[in-house]
Amino acid sequence: MLTIAAFVLALGVLIAVHEYGHYRMAVACGVKVLRFSIGFGKTLVRWQPRGSSTEFVIGAFPVGGYVKMLDEREAPVAAEERHLAFNTQPLRARVAIVAAGPVANLLLAVLLYAVVNWMGVQSPAAILASPTAGSIAEHAGLIGGERVQRAGFEGGELQDVESFEDVRWVLTRGALEGHDVRLVLAGPARRTRGDVLLKLRSMDASEANADLFQKIGIVGPFTRPVIGEVVVGAAADKAGLHDGDVVRQVGSVPVVDGQQLRQLIRSSVVNGEAASAVWKITRAGTELEVSVKPESRQDGELVVGKIGAYVGAMPELVMIRYGAAGGLWRGMTRTWEVSALTLRMMGKMVVGEASLKNLSGPLTIADYAGKSAGMGFTQYLIFLALISVSLGVLNLLPLPVLDGGHLMYYLWEGITGKPVPDAWMERLQRGGVAILLLMMSIALFNDITRLFS
């Protein structure tokens, strides 16, 4: 129920803001707006403010919306109202009205990111977990426990890092945009200030998924290797492990953090059978040794080890909060970065350098809406900002059925001094609809595949 409510609210807000951008700019340019609709299908709510020529409508299916303006191309217009019609407006006014919808979504994203920055959010500290075996991070010399102080692209300006999310964002951009990433470190593995270079430029980053970070080797923040919530009768209970036990060594392998411990447990299965090992632990200040044999469990296509307990403590958290100017600036820069990354990924998908599996449809969006809402108000605002950026960028694409397609027509008109011929307009509209339907089909297929994988 939370997923449905969060999804409907997200769609309603983002569509309303988009259409309101068109509406307000049309009114500012002196165009008569006949109807402002959120959703399609059966009308649920209808009202018309006193003295207004606009009818406001909420439809039964909140999957879109529209602003209907007075236009001679759609219906006859009285001579005395011709100056109020959209099609009679100068080119600059028509461009402004069409562009106002996507711009409104981008401005909403700036505001949402700024609000999160002003409110503050608890985020894991920028302390790295142990890298996955054979990963880029491991080859760079990381072992886990390093605190990242600054990060950025090789050859570019390094930025201060305040949380693990900052590190993750730089890594995401570096992998998808083809940049090596430099990290300035301090911590147990780096007794003095030092840095490492993660060579991401040559890696295959066609998909933005969990496997991407497995290849990089930085999957999550540092967590202490603590055992918790032991299930009665499970492998951990049979071995005599207790809540709060700190694991120091598994067999001959020293344990750095919870991430490494989880990997050791998962990889304990050989030929379908989990191998036992002597664990060195600390319990209430006392050093102990226990023999632990994980249980074999099917996990997708793999057979992995499980012990029936929570592995790893909560990561260290830091409060990230900014003042009025700083929060707004961070909101603007994050919106710009997400927009640029979205455009690059779309471009790579067009030329075949990125997988079409990166396209997500309504089922995935609904799932993320529910999960983010369940994590708290600030996480839901971050989700709304991300989707608002995506909606704004998508609508600026030069597809005839989108706002970007109309802007493409106006560019032609501005260059040639003539509007696009009706015959070409019809052909382009058909092509645009076909492309959009294809994109929607691929996105829905990806959604279904994710749900059943």
Measured distance CA(394)–CA(113) in Å, rounded:
19
Question: Is residue 35 situated within a structural domain?
Answer: no
251 and 203 in a single domain? The answer is: no
291 and 329 in a single domain? The answer is: no
The answer on pLDDT for 208 being more than 70 is no
327 and 453 in a single domain? The answer is: yes
**Which of 172, 188, 216 delimits the end of a domain?**
216
206 and 238 in a single domain? The answer is: no
Is 331:114 a contact under the CB 8 Å cutoff? yes
Q: Residue range 390-413: average pLDDT?
A: 89
Helix (H) or strand (E) run with residue 107 in it: helix 91-119
Whichever domain contains 294, its CATH number is 2.30.42.10
Measured distance CA(49)–CA(33) in Å, rounded:
13
Beta strands in 275-316 (DSSP E): 277-283, 286-292, 295-299, 302-306, 310-311
330 and 415 in a single domain? The answer is: yes
**pTM for the predicted model, two decimal places:** 0.84
> What pLDDT was estimated at residue 365?
67
Which of 87, 81, 104, 86 shows the shortest CA–CA distance to 16? 104
**Which of 194, 216, 238 delimits the end of a domain?**
216
Rg (C-alpha) for the chain, rounded Å, is 27
Which of 81, 19, 88 shows the shortest CA–CA distance to 56? 19
Structure tokens at 97: 């009205």
Structure tokens at 277: 């090992």
What average pLDDT does the structure give for the chain? 86
- The DSSP secondary-structure symbol of 143 reads -
The answer on pLDDT for 189 being more than 60 is no
Residue scoring higher pLDDT (375 or 45): 45
342 and 431 in a single domain? The answer is: yes
> What pLDDT was estimated at residue 188?
58
243 and 361 in a single domain? The answer is: no
Q: Residue range 209-229: average pLDDT?
A: 86
Percent of the chain topping pLDDT 90: 44
Measured distance CA(79)–CA(102) in Å, rounded:
32
> What pLDDT was estimated at residue 91?
94
> What pLDDT was estimated at residue 373?
67
- Distances in Å between the alpha carbon of 68 and those of 53, 167, 250, 256? 11, 45, 68, 62
**Which of 186, 216, 246 delimits the end of a domain?**
216
Residue scoring higher pLDDT (100 or 365): 100
Partners of 57 in beta bridges? 37, 46
> What pLDDT was estimated at residue 192?
45
Work out the pLDDT band at 59, boundaries 50, 70, 90.
confident
Question: Is residue 14 situated within a structural domain?
Answer: no
112 and 144 in a single domain? The answer is: no
Partners of 65 in beta bridges? 38
Is 95:405 a contact under the CB 8 Å cutoff? no
Question: Is residue 31 situated within a structural domain?
Answer: no
Burial of 365 (0-12, 13-18, 19+ CB in 10 A): buried
Is 64:436 a contact under the CB 8 Å cutoff? no
Amino acid making up residue 50: R
The answer on pLDDT for 402 being more than 80 is yes
Measured distance CA(176)–CA(179) in Å, rounded:
8
Measured distance CA(130)–CA(147) in Å, rounded:
12
Measured distance CA(102)–CA(403) in Å, rounded:
8
Question: Is residue 246 situated within a structural domain?
Answer: yes
> What pLDDT was estimated at residue 22?
95
Q: How many independent structural domains does the chain possess? A: 3
How many C-beta neighbours within 10 Å does residue 172 have?
A: 19
358 and 303 in a single domain? The answer is: no
258 and 199 in a single domain? The answer is: no
Task: List, for residues 317-373, the tens digit of each pLDDT value.
Answer: 999 999 999 999 999 999 999 998 888 888 877 777 667 676 676 666 666 667 676
Alpha helices in 131-267 (DSSP H): 136-139, 164-177, 210-216, 235-239, 258-266
Question: Is residue 290 situated within a structural domain?
Answer: yes
Nearest-5° Cα angle at 406, 402 to 412: 145
Residue scoring higher pLDDT (270 or 21): 21
Question: Is residue 210 situated within a structural domain?
Answer: yes
> What pLDDT was estimated at residue 8?
79
Question: Is residue 194 situated within a structural domain?
Answer: yes
> What pLDDT was estimated at residue 451?
67
Which of 297, 317, 316 shows the shortest CA–CA distance to 231? 297
Angle between helices 377-395 and 324-351 (to 10 degrees): 50
The full DSSP string for 401-412 is TSHHHHHHHHHH
Percent of the chain topping pLDDT 70: 92
Q: Annotated active-site positions, please?
A: 19
346 and 423 in a single domain? The answer is: yes
Question: Is residue 74 situated within a structural domain?
Answer: no
Give residue for tokens 């129920």.
Answer: 1
Structure tokens at 26: 């049309």
378 and 433 in a single domain? The answer is: yes
Q: Range with the lowest mean pLDDT among 159-173, 241-255, 352-366? A: 352-366
- The DSSP secondary-structure symbol of 29 reads T
Identify the domain containing residue 177 by its residue range.
136-216
Q: Residue range 85-93: average pLDDT?
A: 93
Give counts: helices (H), strands (E), the chain. Answer: 12, 18
The answer on pLDDT for 31 being more than 70 is yes
> What pLDDT was estimated at residue 205?
64
Task: List, for residues 268-327, the tens digit of each pLDDT value.
Answer: 888 878 888 999 999 988 999 999 999 988 877 788 899 999 998 889 999 999 999 999
Conformational region of residue 251, where left means phi above 0, alpha means psi within -120 to 50, and beta covers everything else: left
